[in-house]
């Protein structure tokens, strides 16, 4: 079932990785994202700027309904129409970026969803994903169920991590 993907985009040249799992299957037992990469892109994440130059790496179906900005980030394209991101330089300074995924967590998630597995990096990124549950709990504890106007920045932030705050 193994397949090699070769990446050539603005941030990686001749980067290769192996798909060892079927797409969307065999996730770690403690990793249960509520949204697929395609769903996230269709809802509106990262100001529509993320991954515009690397669509060839992933299934075309992921991008059919993606909300992409024409030029610079446009936070009106985000589901909650609010800025909830920090610059990539901030992520780098915090040590959150791994050389395999220079765009960060969402790139890792897209590749993980596609079927790539990197044991140590997967554990690290899943640990980071789990840490976002504190934001999910803050929304649940401070907002009426279904009140999407309550804590929109926090709701957008958890959407960036594949949590669907429209459901709580």
Residue by residue, pLDDT tens for the chain (168 residues) are 689 999 999 999 999 999 999 999 999 999 999 999 999 999 999 998 888 888 999 999 999 999 999 888 899 999 999 998 888 889 889 888 999 999 999 999 999 999 999 999 999 999 999 999 999 999 999 999 999 999 999 999 999 999 999 998
Domain count, the chain: 1
**Per the domain annotation, does 21 fall within a domain?**
no
**Per the domain annotation, does 15 fall within a domain?**
no
CA distances from 116 to 37, 68, 104, 121, 124 (A): 14, 25, 15, 11, 15
Cβ burial, residue 36 (10 Å; 0-12/13-18/19+): middle
Domain that holds residue 104: 30-167
Q: Where are the alpha helices (DSSP H) in 35-104?
A: 37-43, 88-94
**Cβ atoms within 10 Å of 156's Cβ, excluding its own:** 24
Q: Among 47, 70, 37, which residue's Cα sits nearest to residue 157?
A: 47
**Per the domain annotation, does 18 fall within a domain?**
no
**Per the domain annotation, does 75 fall within a domain?**
yes
**Cβ atoms within 10 Å of 58's Cβ, excluding its own:** 19
**Per the domain annotation, does 7 fall within a domain?**
no
pLDDT of the residue at 75: 92
Q: Quote the tokens at residue 1.
A: 């079932």
**Per the domain annotation, does 121 fall within a domain?**
yes
pLDDT of the residue at 1: 65
Is the pTM of the predicted complex or chain greater than 0.75?
Answer: yes
**Per the domain annotation, does 12 fall within a domain?**
no
pLDDT of the residue at 96: 86
Distance between CA atoms of residues 132 and 143, nearest Å: 17
Q: Torsions phi, psi of 4, nearest 5?
A: -100, 130
Distance between CA atoms of residues 122 and 156, nearest Å: 23
Q: Where are the alpha helices (DSSP H) in 53-118?
A: 88-94, 105-114
């Amino acid at each position: 079932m193994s397949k090699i993907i070769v990446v050539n985009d603005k941030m990686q040249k001749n980067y290769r990785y192996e798909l060892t799992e079927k797409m969307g299957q065999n996730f770690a037992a403690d990793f249960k994202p509520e949204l697929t990469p395609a769903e996230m892109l269709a809802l509106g994440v990262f100001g529509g700027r993320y991954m515009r130059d690397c669509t060839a790496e992933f299934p075309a179906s992921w991008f059919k309904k993606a909300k992409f900005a024409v030029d610079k980030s446009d936070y009106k394209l985000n589901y909650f129409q609010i800025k909830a991101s920090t610059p990539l330089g901030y992520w780098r300074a915090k040590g959150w970026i791994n050389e395999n995924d220079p765009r960060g967590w969402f790139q890792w998630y897209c590749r993980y969803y596609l079927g790539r597995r990197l044991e140590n990096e997967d554990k690290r990124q899943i640990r980071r994903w789990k840490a976002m549950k504190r934001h999910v709990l803050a929304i649940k504890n401070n907002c009426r169920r279904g009140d999407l106007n309550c804590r929109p920045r926090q709701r957008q932030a958890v959407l960036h991590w594949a949590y669907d705050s429209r459901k709580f």
